[in-house]
DNA sequence: TAACATGTATACTGATCTGTATATTTCATA
DNA sequence: TATGAAATATACAGATCAGTATACATGTTA
């Protein structure tokens, strides 16, 4: 009896998605041909098309993996850096700074993907939008736990996300000007916004 | 006597750059073939290659045109909306909101281009970085005229740019969630940052 | 050993890509 | 009318693209 039916639990499939994640991140989606992924992954072309119906499906699998890994690492990192929600809102920007310092940093894969796949109803673009929604939801929950009311928590979360996305983009486009600076400037701005939104909330309020 | 030698002052050349600007913005760079630009512009292929040595040069010309137009429109719009530098810093976000409301809005062409052309020393990526530097320089000058000192003006400018870039990206990736909201949230945050950076500076100080 | 799923190798299709070669047309100016 | 630049039409080169067809190898399980 053969356990690992596609699409799950195949070593070759994993290698494909892993390689796709790396190459699509580094070189772009249209600019990276299937053949280069196959060569780098050490997998035959027919194997790819037994696991995925098209290049688009491979891209979607790579984006799913990236979303899962990125948010896990981000949330775990934030929760490790600070224990109270208010501190965690600030710690997000230290986590970003770490990410930017990675020599392989190539910006946000979802921003990059939605730049190449403009149509909103395209599954790739939809996956990018969903990723951003999930990140913002996490920030909003932190803001709520920190004591921001409604709609304050939603607005604060949106504003902190704007700072984060801006830092990601500027570090991608102008790394030499912003490598270390964008995250720091964003963190300082975030501190002000958080203090303002949480004015009157006692420090270290009922943490989760 | 024939006046308009290439590369300047050619009607066909202008049509090419104009069409390239539209199509590359809307559909992406790799995804838009030369042939589609030629067809949409109503220009023969040989004409293109008499004015430009390669597709990359056409892209660079389109980016130059976009940079010039975008910054002109932005600066003029801002200067029309408010007379004092402090008000102009805030007015930037109203200008963004107007831009986002354009049905043809497809994000920042320079963010999109640098997503597709990752290498920093690639001329296309370099042009994108330069555009962002010029925008930030304008914001920094406004901040200085508003009375922010050094390094306060530089930091404030960087922070306001992060908010702007973040708003641009979120409106591109999740237009349905952010169409009107991102610019407003950014403006509110900007107001706080500006007030903080200019604390102690008399309102409507020596404007330019 | 027989069955079966996974993966491979090779070759191919048909489309599309950037860029070029060549010969011709258009049209204002001198 | 003669010159010469701008633009065109057509065809092509050479590469790469996503995706398919077919036959074969491998390794595990029943």
- At residue B103, does pLDDT exceed 70? yes
- In chain A, residues with a C-beta closer than 8 Å to the C-beta of B125 are 173
Nucleotide in closest CA–C1' contact with A56: D18
Average pLDDT of the residues of chain B: 93
- Cα–Cα distance for residue pair B193/A122, rounded to 1 Å: 37
What does the DSSP 8-state code read for residue A6? Answer: T
Nucleotides of C under 7 A from a protein CB: 4-11, 16-23, 29-30
Average pLDDT for residues B79-85, to the nearest whole number? 97
Say if A30 is an interface residue toward chain B (CB within 8 Å): yes
pLDDT (0 to 100) of residue A204: 63
Burial class (CB in 10 A: 0-12, 13-18, 19+), B176: exposed
Average pLDDT of the residues of chain A: 93
Smallest Cα–C1' distance to nucleotide D22: which residue has it?
A46
- At residue A190, does pLDDT exceed 90? yes
Q: Of residues 147 to 176 in chain A, which lie within 7 A of strand C by their beta carbon?
A: none
pLDDT tens per residue, range A143-167: 999 999 999 999 999 999 999 999 9
Nearest to A114 among B159, B172, B193 (CB): B172
Say if B22 is an interface residue toward chain A (CB within 8 Å): no
Question: Does A161 sit within 8 Å of B162, measured CB to CB?
Answer: no
Q: Of residues 6 to 65 in chain A, which lie within 7 A of strand D by their beta carbon?
A: 32-36, 45-46, 49, 53-56
- Cα–Cα distance for residue pair B158/B117, rounded to 1 Å: 24
Tokens at residue B185, please? 């949230």
* Cβ pair B172, B107 in contact under 8 A: yes
As a rounded value in angstroms, the CA-to-C1' distance for A1 and C1 is 17
Average pLDDT for residues B172-200, to the nearest whole number? 93
Question: Does B107 sit within 8 Å of A188, measured CB to CB?
Answer: no
What does the DSSP 8-state code read for residue A31? Answer: T
C-alpha angle with apex B134: B128 to B140, nearest 5 degrees? 140
pLDDT tens per residue, range A71-100: 999 999 999 999 999 999 999 999 999 999
| pLDDT band per the 50, 70, 90 thresholds, residue A8 | low
- Cα–Cα distance for residue pair A112/A90, rounded to 1 Å: 25
Residues 6+ apart with CB under 8 A from A159: A193, B163, B185, B186, B188, B189
Residues 6+ apart with CB under 8 A from B133: A174, A177
- 3-class DSSP state of B118: coil
Say if B162 is an interface residue toward chain A (CB within 8 Å): yes
């Amino acid at each position: 009896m053969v356990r690992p039916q596609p699409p799950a639990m195949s070593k070759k499939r994993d290698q494909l998605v892993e390689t796709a994640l790396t190459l699509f991140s580094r070189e772009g989606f249209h600019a990276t041909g299937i053949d280069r992924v196959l060569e780098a992954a050490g997998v035959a072309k027919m194997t790819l098309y037994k696991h995925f119906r098209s290049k688009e499906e491979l891209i979607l699998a790579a984006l799913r993996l990236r979303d899962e890994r990125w948010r896990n690492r981000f949330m775990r990192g934030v929760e490790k850096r600070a224990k109270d929600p208010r501190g965690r809102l600030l710690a997000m920007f230290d986590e970003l700074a770490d990410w930017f310092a990675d020599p392989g940093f190539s910006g946000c894969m979802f921003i990059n993907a939605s730049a190449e796949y403009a149509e909103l109803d395209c599954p790739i673009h939809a996956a990018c939008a969903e990723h951003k929604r999930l990140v913002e939801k996490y920030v909003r929950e932190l803001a709520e736990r920190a004591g921001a009311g409604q709609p304050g928590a939603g607005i604060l979360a949106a504003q902190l996300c704007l700072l984060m996305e801006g830092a990601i983009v500027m570090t991608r486009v102008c790394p030499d000007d912003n490598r270390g600076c964008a995250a720091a400037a964003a963190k300082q701005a975030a501190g002000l916004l958080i203090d303002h939104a949480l004015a009157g909330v006692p420090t270290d309020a009922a943490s989760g």
